[in-house]
């Protein structure tokens, strides 16, 4: 291949974006590409052990650290991650806007670094729209990292182009997404606020800039694989006419070493203890419930989940990210009654470790793309409970296209808090997933997709081939 090519990876400052980007850098480095991750001091500390471990196994990943201009944007010093946003919706928006102001101020030091190092390619997160112009000035191809699926990107684009949501009479009236394969139905209440509002605010400006930058960039990288959503990969590339490569599922390169140090956060439970508990259970008998690091349910909703779980009679592991430390959200005596049957983890959980265990037979998820992919790679069917972002689109992929999930019945897009779902609906969905008439078929389809995921990154697999052709293209271009 001649001269070694150098790629910059620039992840957004949030755990859900950092983890797949670091995994991706590791993947490219394992193919002989010189890789450098650009980040801030606090974010670098999240993945320093991963970098160290990679080095010990002969894969070297460079890190360039730039100061995050928190104070200049009116944020406390050290406020460098979107995971630090307050969970109350009223406070959240103001802090988020200050954070994006700081991200904008990051442009100048970043451009300086780009000029000094002149990498052959820049992979920058969707939320850095200015990265395209910065790279273009220096003749460096900028690839946008989409932390989501081809499917949801196609849905977003069809909604932007054809605006079907403006032709319905109410928020609950279903419409079919025009020109998209699969007759995908949505309602206006399931769409992001930024799409429903005609009034432009700071957030819609950022999203519009991200879309414009994507259209001017060299291409798009997806953490996905062809066998999962080939129809939509073809649609994205051939009908929408975008250059795109799928190199996922990138978490598979870290699957063998998914301990707490490797994934950047300390588990709130001893992992051996957790595995021992799972080892004592029958295959496919445990339900795993986790809503990611950003969704924040009210105490009333958590109580409803507890009652739904108890009524279902199922065994479970439930991860609760709760700000207030008291247990006012638990029905009286719930934990006592659940002894041996249920496990509550307050805080960060070793998700991949749990999902990969044969005792786990179902996953209740918010349909964030990282979690959805982790469920797919573990071969576990899902109960879908989207709250915001593009999660309602991912839900349709899981339940309508892949047919490996059951909808819990969340109908309303609501940033952070999510739609309120009653215990009866929760009980019905989890029972249907674990023991319903379709349960065995869903499990078979899930296992087949997990197999396909493994094969896609093996030599000659669909993602391996896309990765190879992208490296080749950048290499030829840089020469």
Give the 3-state secondary structure of residue 345: strand
Tokens of residue 444, six digits: 């078979």
The answer to whether the beta carbons of residues 18 and 264 sit under 8 Å apart is yes
Give the 3-state secondary structure of residue 297: coil
The answer to whether the beta carbons of residues 416 and 87 sit under 8 Å apart is yes
Q: How far apart are CA 434 and CA 237, in angstroms?
A: 37
Residues paired with residue 342 on neighbouring β-strands, in sequence order: 316
Q: How far is CA 312 from CA 61, 282, 308, 435, in A?
A: 47, 17, 6, 11
H/E segment holding residue 220: strand 219-222
Q: How far apart are CA 408 and CA 472, in angstroms?
A: 44
The answer to whether the beta carbons of residues 219 and 439 sit under 8 Å apart is no
Give strand ranges (E) for 54-125.
61-65, 121-125
- Which of the residues 17, 146, 165, 246 is marked catalytic? 17
Tell the residue number behind the tokens 């699969």, with chain if given. 182
The yes-or-no answer on residue 165 being catalytic is no
H/E segment holding residue 167: none
Q: How far apart are CA 403 and CA 142, in angstroms?
A: 35
* CB-count burial class (<10 Å; 0-12, 13-18, 19+) for 77: exposed
The yes-or-no answer on residue 125 being catalytic is yes
Q: How far apart are CA 144 and CA 214, in angstroms?
A: 6
Tokens of residue 341, six digits: 């049957």
Residue 16: count other Cβ atoms within 10 Å of its Cβ: 19
Residue 256: count other Cβ atoms within 10 Å of its Cβ: 7
Close Cβ partners of 322 (under 8 Å, ≥ 6 residues apart): 302, 329, 346
Tell the residue number behind the tokens 């977003």, with chain if given. 156
Q: How far apart are CA 276 and CA 271, in angstroms?
A: 8
Close Cβ partners of 163 (under 8 Å, ≥ 6 residues apart): none
Helical axes 202-216 vs 130-137, angle rounded to 10°: 40
- Which of the residues 15, 23, 120, 125 is marked catalytic? 125
Residues paired with residue 63 on neighbouring β-strands, in sequence order: 37
Give the 3-state secondary structure of residue 388: coil
The residues that are catalytic are 17, 125
């Amino acid at each position: 291949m001649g001269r070694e090519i150098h790629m910059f990876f620039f992840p957004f400052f949030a755990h859900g974006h950092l983890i797949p980007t670091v995994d991706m850098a590791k993947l490219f480095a394992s193919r002989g590409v010189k890789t450098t991750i650009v980040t801030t001091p606090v974010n670098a500390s999240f993945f320093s052990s991963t970098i160290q471990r990679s080095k010990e196994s002969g894969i070297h990943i460079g890190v360039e650290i730039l100061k995050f201009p928190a104070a200049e944007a009116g944020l406390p010093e050290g406020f460098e991650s979107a995971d630090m946003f307050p969970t109350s919706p009223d406070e959240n928006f103001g802090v988020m806007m200050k954070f994006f102001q700081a991200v904008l101020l990051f442009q100048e030091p970043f451009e300086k670094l780009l000029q000094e190092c002149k990498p052959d390619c820049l992979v920058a997160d969707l939320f850095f729209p200015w990265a395209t112009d910065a790279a273009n000035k220096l003749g460096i191809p900028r690839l946008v990292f989409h932390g989501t699926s081809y499917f949801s990107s196609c849905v977003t684009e069809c909604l932007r182009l054809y605006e079907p949501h403006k032709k319905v009479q109410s928020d609950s009236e279903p419409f079919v997404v025009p020109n998209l394969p699969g007759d995908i139905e949505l309602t206006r209440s399931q769409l992001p606020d930024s799409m429903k509002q005609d009034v432009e605010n700071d957030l819609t400006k950022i999203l519009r800039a991200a879309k414009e930058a994507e259209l001017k960039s060299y291409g798009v990288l997806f953490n996905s694989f062809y066998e999962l959503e080939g129809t939509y990969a073809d649609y994205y590339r051939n009908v929408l006419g975008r250059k795109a490569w799928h190199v996922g599922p990138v978490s598979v390169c870290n699957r063998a070493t998914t301990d707490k140090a490797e994934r950047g956060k300390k588990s709130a439970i001893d992992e051996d203890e957790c595995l021992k508990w799972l080892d004592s259970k029958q295959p496919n008998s445990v339900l795993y419930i986790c809503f990611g690091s950003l969704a924040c349910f009210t105490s009333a909703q958590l109580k409803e989940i507890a009652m739904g779980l108890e009524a279902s009679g199922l065994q479970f592991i439930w991860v609760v990210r709760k700000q207030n430390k008291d247990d006012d959200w638990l029905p009286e005596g719930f934990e006592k009654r659940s002894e041996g049957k249920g496990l509550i983890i307050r805080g960060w959980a070793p998700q991949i470790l749990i999902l990969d265990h044969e005792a786990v037979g179902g996953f209740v998820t918010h349909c964030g793309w990282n979690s959805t992919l982790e469920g797919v790679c573990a071969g576990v069917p899902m109960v879908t409970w989207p709250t915001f972002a593009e999660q309602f689109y991912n839900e349709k992929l899981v339940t309508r296209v892949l047919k490996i999930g059951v909808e819990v019945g969340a109908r309303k897009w609501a940033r952070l808090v999510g739609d309120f779902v009653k215990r009866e609906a929760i009980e019905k969905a989890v029972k249907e997933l674990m023991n319903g008439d379709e349960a065995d078929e869903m499990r078979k389809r899930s296992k087949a997709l997990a197999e396909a995921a493994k094969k896609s990154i093996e030599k000659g697999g669909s993602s391996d081939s896309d990765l190879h052709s992208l490296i080749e293209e950048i290499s030829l271009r840089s020469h």
